[in-house]
Amino acid sequence: MLIKNADAYINGEFRRADIRITDGRIAEVGENLSSGGDAVDASGLCAAPGLVDMHVHLREPGQTHKEDIMSGSAAAAAGGFTAVAAMANTSPVIDSPELIKEILRRSEGASCRVLPVAAITRGQMGEELVDFDGCIASAAAGAAGGIAFSDDGHPVPPDLMYKAMKKSAEMGFLIISHPEERALTGNGVINEGETSKKLGVPGIPALSEDLAIIRDIEIAKYTGAKLHLAHVSTGRGAEAVYEAKRKGLTNITAETCPHYFSLNDKAVEEFGADAKMSPPLRSERDRQAIIAAVSDGVFDCISTDHAPHAPEEKARGLISAPNGIIGLQTSFALGITYLVDERKLTLGELIRLMSVNPSKLLGLPCGIMLGNPADLFLFDPNESFVFTEDMIKSKSRNSPFLGKTLRGKVKMTICGGKTTYREI
């Protein structure tokens, strides 16, 4: 395949280039390359390394009525992603070398690379640590990149988190923390504030997240573990990450998600359970603080926390419905619409947050350069589109962005030299 006339993101900047792909890898990058085979005219389009999502829920095994690896990876490809890290809260929980091998087997033929994230504790029960050595060996035998460990959806008790981080410091693997203090969350449903009072539902204080972030930073500081803080939603949480980095704690990284910079808790009044998630949408003050933190370089990544649920599950109402929204097909456009168009980030900075940085954290090669895997996507940063149900590749429809006009349209995704999504 030869991609012609793209505005390509290469070595940190956009420049006009042709890109030749041979045997699944970047074979040549230059101008006016001679065509041969399948040529794609990318005039007016940007080319960038494929997006990498550190935080998705593919629901397989055990919950495939919500999503499965094939449908989730198809949604990922349509969103410009060439790799996703699949969280462990499946049924059964991915907590053993055998289950990691099974996820890798099931991922063969998927529309993007699927990196299993193993649980920190067996069954995510918070009682016993998993076999870290065995899980790492299984992942290394079958996946490009490293393996991370996370009990996402379930906070890990401090004693076990301490032991897990000591092991991380010894072996060099990444711990992805779900920062939440359950004693403060209680039976909360949405963010504690004016909206929860207005709707008469129990609230979740921002403090429940803030204290957990501070706790895990302190454990990582003490142990030297590689800690990645998931889905940061509060201004104080972002401040704690900033403070840690200012003190030189390079072993600590963090992510936020598009819904935390594009929506506040008032969205629950309009979208109901389709705007219910964990951590919840926060106040407008927190939303603005998250935007400022993204702009100031506090966060290393923007991840989706793609969390599909069947329509009948979200129809149970605000109190009983499960947490989460789908996000793979809207995240990049939300970044352009709310950050690039609002001059909070440059387009190149958005690519770093959604491709370059997460690739480094997950041990994946990244960049449009000779010899690298041909993982890239083409997009039109100026094309507006309305996100509609008929566009959705996921099995689920739980998104507050349906009917929303966004900017930045993915036109083609290539993973390992194979075209996994195309509309040009």
- Rounded to 5 degrees, what angle do the CA atoms 309, 314, 316 make? 140
Which CATH number belongs to the domain containing residue 149 in this structure? 3.20.20.140
In a domain, 255, yes or no: yes
Flag whether 163 is in a domain. Answer: yes
Which residue range is the domain that position 221 belongs to?
50-366+385-404
Tell me if residue 220 falls in helix, strand or coil: helix
| From 7, 152, 305, 375, the catalytic residue | 305
Structural domain total, the chain: 1
Instruction: Give 203's contacts (C-beta < 8 A, 6+ positions apart).
Output: 188, 189, 190, 191, 192, 193, 196, 197
CA dist., res. 213 & res. 207, Å (int): 10
Instruction: Kindly state whether residue 152 falls inside one of the protein's structural domains.
Output: yes
In a domain, 375, yes or no: no
Cβ atoms of 172 and 209 closer than 8 Å: no
Residue 44, domain member (yes or no): no
pLDDT of 26: 97
Query: Looking at the domain assignment, is residue 379 inside a domain?
Result: no
**pTM exceeding the 0.75 threshold for the entire prediction:** yes
* Residue 305 designated active-site: yes
Three-state secondary structure call for residue 302? strand
Q: Average pLDDT for consecutive 10-residue bins of the chain (424 residues)?
A: 97 96 96 85 97 98 98 98 97 96 96 97 98 92 80 97 98 97 97 98 98 98 98 98 98 98 98 98 98 98 98 96 98 98 98 98 95 98 98 98 98 98 94
- Residue 173 in any domain: the answer is yes
